[in-house]
Structure 1
Amino acid sequence: MKLLRIGPSGQEIPCVLDGEGNARDVSSLVPDFGPETIEGLVDVLGGADLAALPVVHTSGKRVGSPMTQPRNIYCIGLNYSDHAAESGMPIPDEPILFNKSGSTFCGPNDPILFSPQMTKLDWEVELGVVIGKTALNISKDDALDHVLGYTLVNDVSERAWQLERSGQWAKGKSFPHFCPTGPWIATQDTLAGAAELPMWLDVNGQRMQTGNTRTMIFDCATIVSHLSEFLRLEPGDLICTGTPPGVGMGMKPQVWLTIGDIVRLGIDGLGEQEQTVVAL
């Protein structure tokens, strides 16, 4: 299944895409997609007759985030060997964990906000993992049983705040709208494992990133199992699993986003996003 939400912010309608690509309103079956409803969601929706449900016409309408705000947003740094190389950092021995604040979470086409204090605004196309049921100290073999599905994420970053100011990476990762997510969540039955998915990102029509999830250092099952050793993953938690090479920080000379720039990105099976950088 592909789960998405259509409508203005705060008024989104939960939908499932049918075989013809029509968005079907499933609000009669579940009030919304979010931390409170995600566990068991596939069972609730799996037996539904989508053809009997209302069509939500998407033309000209906002596509919201594919679920309500998660309780936690976790991120894995330097999870592609070639991205670690362009960053001038060693390949990690185990997943590098950091957080993004909840206020970063937004729809896939919502604007990227530019603050006057920003000087090195960057992009990162990433595979997002959405947790489907509580996971604590689970094995790698069991990890994917705790995953609802996968989504597309832009892990927007302010590199000066991330790397040149004291403290943790979260400083440069947590500004509002720094985590555009969606357009949909593809459940495990649609995209099992997400092990080999081409991904890309353009800035102003120029291809910047080209990659594939098969080159991740730590795959999704490893990441979920590893994180569960240190914390309890809960339904709806989002894990951003790292980015391939081609970020602005890694270019020579370096390239940064500014007001008016347009970012487009996509992952096969997970759709596309487009954001415009706008003044705060």
Structure 2
Amino acid sequence: MTLDFAPQAPVLAATTDGREFPVRRLFCIGRNYAAHAREMGKDPDREAPFYFTKWAETVVPSGSTIAYPPLTANFQYEAELVVAVGKGGRNIAREDALDHVWGYATGLDMTRRDLQFEARDKGRPWDTGKNVEQSSPLGAIHPVSEVGHLSTGSIRLTVNGEVKQDADLDELIWPVEDVIAYVSQGYRLEPGDLIYTGTPAGVGAVVSGDVIVVSIAGLSDLTVTVGPLAHD
């Protein structure tokens, strides 16, 4: 078989055990901290999680400089606990959900907030606000054998050393077990999938030159620098 062009290389995420984790898909849980739901003008509830998806190629490693994306004047950070799926399944029972976790990492869901709000207000998909090149920075993934399962602990984000987000993982409306069980009802989860579990309150805009650091208790920090406007 002759290809018209070379296929894209797989996205490989760093792990703390020296191996690489092939990234397949991203599922991102929305408004999973009550205070963040309120700052977005919504009332938090536990009826059911909702989520959006992103391309694997939006993942970049800690230490990256990410380009300020076009078409926005409000590029915002969202610190997140990321779940790396190591065992596939559909309709996973909540009590079995943690058996499907390979590990955990710090993450960022960078957002063109003005485009997200425009789409939301018009009842349109969020893709232009969320599914953006380099918008899913990811720290090193720690295997469960190293850190266990995370349900409590500090999650914090700083910009240029100033604390902007500061919460605890026990504030998640839908903890890891719930989101795995729920997402697996609509899609068969597969090894390599990442679940970004939502962000605490305190989201805000950054500009070129800003340095963002995400820290979660027990995990490696994630650091990215916001670069100049993307031109290519």
TM range (shorter): 0.7 to 0.9
Note the C-alpha offset of 1:115: 2.7
Give the 5 Å matches for 1:202-221.
Answer: 202-221=158-177
From the superposition, tell whether residues 103 and 122 of structure 1 become closer, same or farther in structure 2 (CA, over 3 Å). Answer: same
From the superposition, tell whether residues 277 and 193 of structure 1 become closer, same or farther in structure 2 (CA, over 3 Å). Answer: same
Give the 5 Å matches for 1:163-182.
Answer: 163-165=117-119, 166=122, 167-182=124-139
Give the 5 Å matches for 1:189-208.
Answer: 189-208=145-164
Partner AA of 1:258 in structure 2:
V
Identity %: 33
Name which of 68, 71, 79 aligns with 2:24.
71
Note the C-alpha offset of 1:185: 1.5
- Extract structure 1 runs of 4+ deviating beyond 4 A: 12-17
CA–CA distance in 2 between the matches of 1:15 and 1:266?
16
Structure 1: which 5+ runs fail to align? Answer: 1-8, 18-24, 26-31, 34-66, 249-255
Partner of 1:267: 216
From the superposition, tell whether residues 185 and 115 of structure 1 become closer, same or farther in structure 2 (CA, over 3 Å). Answer: closer
Give the 5 Å matches for 1:1-280.
Answer: 16-17=16-17, 33=20, 67-68=21-22, 70-92=23-45, 93-165=47-119, 166=122, 167-182=124-139, 184-248=140-204, 256-279=205-228, 280=230
Note the C-alpha offset of 1:134: 0.7
From the superposition, tell whether residues 13 and 135 of structure 1 become closer, same or farther in structure 2 (CA, over 3 Å). Answer: closer
Note the C-alpha offset of 1:138: 1.2
Partner AA of 1:113 in structure 2:
A
From the superposition, tell whether residues 100 and 16 of structure 1 become closer, same or farther in structure 2 (CA, over 3 Å). Answer: closer
CA–CA distance in 2 between the matches of 1:239 and 1:79?
12
CA–CA distance in 2 between the matches of 1:118 and 1:191?
38
CA–CA distance in 2 between the matches of 1:190 and 1:261?
32
Q: Secondary structure at the match of 1:193?
A: coil
CA–CA distance in 2 between the matches of 1:209 and 1:229?
31
From the superposition, tell whether residues 206 and 97 of structure 1 become closer, same or farther in structure 2 (CA, over 3 Å). Answer: same
Structure 2: which 5+ runs fail to align? Answer: 1-8
Higher RCO structure (Cα 8 Å, ≥6 apart) = 2
CA–CA distance in 1 between the matches of 2:201 and 2:154?
13
Cα shift readout 1:83-116 (whole Å, capped 9, x = no counterpart): 1111111214211111122221110221221134
Note the C-alpha offset of 1:16: 4.5
CA–CA distance in 2 between the matches of 1:134 and 1:13?
18
Note the C-alpha offset of 1:15: 6.4
Partner of 1:40: none
**Does the aligned pair in 2 maintain the 1:137–1:229 contact within 8 Å?**
yes
CA–CA distance in 2 between the matches of 1:190 and 1:90?
36
Partner AA of 2:137 in structure 1:
P
Partner of 2:4: none
CA–CA distance in 1 between the matches of 2:98 and 2:142?
14
The structure where strand makes up a greater share of residues is 2
